[in-house]
Chains A and B, each alone.
Chain A
């Protein structure tokens, strides 16, 4: 299913990012994201996926170029307004503080002076954590913890979610659970999602994929166009074959490299 893209919500224009005195981590990179798009961000370790998400979220400031959010320069958008438009979830959600799940979720209200329409219970219902509302976040499994933070983003009401490897360190059951949840939210709430990941099989399920290498975009487009043997070899330096099942569904195999 493809959504009709009406509005460009994020524009990354010729951005470069480097720490002072170091080689650039992001090199003259450009792309845009439209309303309701579900984009997988793929690339080897150190290719710049996390840095790109942090630049898109305003956590890092580009050394050159600009990031525009709903047509406005991201750096000029006030903090509270930015928080209502986009939400960034880091890879590590190892919160050592004994907050209860409902306390974490209710922090999604913080950018607002007037409470939004959705309640904490409704958000917890959507992620299937209603029965864990009173539990400490420190007592939850990795997958449940992810879902609790996704519930927080629902209250935050942002139209763009930037997720840094939300499937990392989760077993296959929780990976699928989180992926289904994100796809459901994108469909129900028309939220745009950019999500860094490592699993090429899951990347095949996205509407669009960005393949990165050495701080630049190697290819951006549909999974069929991006996840090809030659591009994957160029990005990851291994032989990966894309095959198709009888149903037409694509899957990967590692050929002679395993």
Chain B
């Protein structure tokens, strides 16, 4: 039964990718493309689709890993303060006016901020030679508030013209997507996804508790550190590609868990795939509904996702309790 459900989900996601690429905002026939269509497809639509898919994949997978790692169904990749660290860093980069890396400046400073935030949260969550989930969560929440406070202060006192761009980016802006960042995004996201998939059994065991995980032959602290690293890699790459897009990391693992169960060997890859497809839908809706005005994808994901999530919660408890 699960194999049928997984096949249907994979097929649906592939259809969504196809639909997003060829059918919106205007219909293109993939078999009769002229030169202009091909240019639009390769230069605009395909990189945007890939950025959306990569971000969704990273958020879906890291949400599934984080919910398992913290044993907390309300955990979202952004709860660890990685996105707020990235946002603050990017805004500081814009205000300083130093563009050391040209067009890469915003994503680079965002990634640097995300990496520093990950290290800081990891350092605060570390005690007695191990990473403690409760400390990690509290450190993430604390750091997140601190970074957001600094960001809001920067936005309120700054008159820099780039700040509007920064605010748009904070809410998830895919309109500037191009090929330049995709190889880096692929590199970090594939690395993070690879680590998390290879540690999926360990994550299952950790969800039973540290003592049972140890009894099943896992080095609890090593596995937790590897899983945190995978989350940090995927979330940092995602934020650098297109800003902070909420709800996918929280929502996708729950929807997949509701349909296919809690086994992380299935949950992580399917949440990744569905996250990618969902962000493609959100981006398509965002650029089509009020065309030519674009709605940031982060807003669309919340508007589409929240009612469906509440429907699931009402129809059948997604926590299985």
Measured in the bound complex, the distance between the Cα atoms of B204 and A80 in whole Å is 16
Interface residue count for A (Cβ, 8 Å)? Answer: 32
Measured in the bound complex, the distance between the Cα atoms of B6 and A122 in whole Å is 27
Q: Is the CB of B321 within 8 A of A98?
A: yes
* Contact bitstring B288-308, A, C-beta under 8 A = 1, else 0: 000000000000000000000
Q: Is A100 an interface residue (CB 8 A)?
A: yes
CB distance from A235 to the nearest CB of B (A): 26
* Contact bitstring A104-118, B, C-beta under 8 A = 1, else 0: 100110110000000
Q: A90-B209, A96-B321, A98-B321 are in contact. Are A107 and B215 (CB under 8 A)?
A: no
Q: A97-B207, A98-B262, A99-B261 are in contact. Are A83 and B321 (CB under 8 A)?
A: no
Q: Is B205 an interface residue (CB 8 A)?
A: yes
Residues of A within 8 A of B209 (CB): 90, 92, 95
CB distance from B82 to the nearest CB of A (A): 24
Q: Is the CB of A107 within 8 A of B216?
A: yes
Please give me the residue from chain A that is nearest to B266 by CB atom. A103
- Stretch in A51-59, A185-193, A206-214 with 4+ CB within 8 Å of B: A51-59
Q: Is B130 an interface residue (CB 8 A)?
A: no
Q: Is the CB of A98 within 8 A of B214?
A: no
Q: Is the CB of A95 within 8 A of B208?
A: yes
Q: Is the CB of A100 within 8 A of B261?
A: yes
Q: Is A89 an interface residue (CB 8 A)?
A: yes
CB distance from B312 to the nearest CB of A (A): 13
The B interface is mostly helix, strand or loop, or mixed, namely loop
Q: Is the CB of A110 within 8 A of B211?
A: no
Q: A54-B211, A103-B261, A107-B208 are in contact. Are A82 and B320 (CB under 8 A)?
A: no
Q: Is the CB of B211 within 8 A of A79?
A: no
Q: Is the CB of A96 within 8 A of B71?
A: yes
Q: Is A156 an interface residue (CB 8 A)?
A: yes
Please give me the residue from chain B that is nearest to A149 by CB atom. B212
Residues of B within 8 A of A86 (CB): 215
Q: Is B19 an interface residue (CB 8 A)?
A: no
Q: Is the CB of B207 within 8 A of A99?
A: yes
Residues of A within 8 A of B215 (CB): 57, 59, 83, 86-89, 156
Interface positions of B from 178 to 196, Cβ below 8 Å from A: none
CB distance from A151 to the nearest CB of B (A): 14
Please give me the residue from chain B that is nearest to A99 by CB atom. B262
Q: Is B148 an interface residue (CB 8 A)?
A: no
Q: Is B11 an interface residue (CB 8 A)?
A: no
Measured in the bound complex, the distance between the Cα atoms of B321 and A22 in whole Å is 40
Interface residue count for B (Cβ, 8 Å)? Answer: 23
Measured in the bound complex, the distance between the Cα atoms of B208 and A149 in whole Å is 11
Q: Is A138 an interface residue (CB 8 A)?
A: yes
Q: Is A136 an interface residue (CB 8 A)?
A: yes
Q: Is the CB of A79 within 8 A of B218?
A: yes
Q: Is the CB of A111 within 8 A of B216?
A: yes
CB distance from A105 to the nearest CB of B (A): 12
Q: Is the CB of A110 within 8 A of B263?
A: no
Residues of B within 8 A of A138 (CB): 320-321
Q: Is B45 an interface residue (CB 8 A)?
A: no
Please give me the residue from chain B that is nearest to A153 by CB atom. B215
Please give me the residue from chain A that is nearest to B217 by CB atom. A83
Q: Is B43 an interface residue (CB 8 A)?
A: no
Interface positions of A from 40 to 94, Cβ below 8 Å from B: 54, 57-59, 79-84, 86-90, 92
Q: Is B219 an interface residue (CB 8 A)?
A: yes
Please give me the residue from chain A that is nearest to B72 by CB atom. A96
Q: Is B23 an interface residue (CB 8 A)?
A: no
CB distance from A69 to the nearest CB of B (A): 13
Q: A88-B211, A107-B208 are in contact. Are A98 and B257 (CB under 8 A)?
A: yes
Partner of B262, one of A103, A149, A156: A103
CB distance from B260 to the nearest CB of A (A): 11
Measured in the bound complex, the distance between the Cα atoms of B212 and A111 in whole Å is 12
Q: A96-B71, A96-B321, A98-B262 are in contact. Are A88 and B217 (CB under 8 A)?
A: no
Residues of B within 8 A of A87 (CB): 215
Interface positions of B from 256 to 270, Cβ below 8 Å from A: 257, 261-263
Can you identify 27 A-B contacts, CB atoms within 8 angstroms? A59-B214, A79-B214, A79-B219, A82-B217, A83-B216, A88-B212, A90-B209, A90-B211, A90-B212, A95-B207, A96-B321, A97-B207, A98-B261, A98-B262, A98-B320, A98-B321, A99-B208, A100-B262, A103-B204, A104-B208, A107-B201, A107-B204, A107-B208, A107-B216, A108-B216, A111-B217, A138-B320
Which A positions have Cβ atoms within 8 angstroms of B?
Answer: 54, 57-59, 79-84, 86-90, 92, 95-100, 103-104, 107-108, 110-111, 136, 138, 149, 156
Known: A89-B212, A95-B209, A156-B215. 20 other contacts (CB 8 A): A54-B211, A59-B211, A59-B214, A79-B217, A80-B217, A82-B217, A83-B215, A83-B216, A86-B215, A88-B212, A88-B215, A90-B209, A92-B209, A96-B71, A97-B262, A98-B262, A99-B261, A107-B216, A110-B216, A136-B320
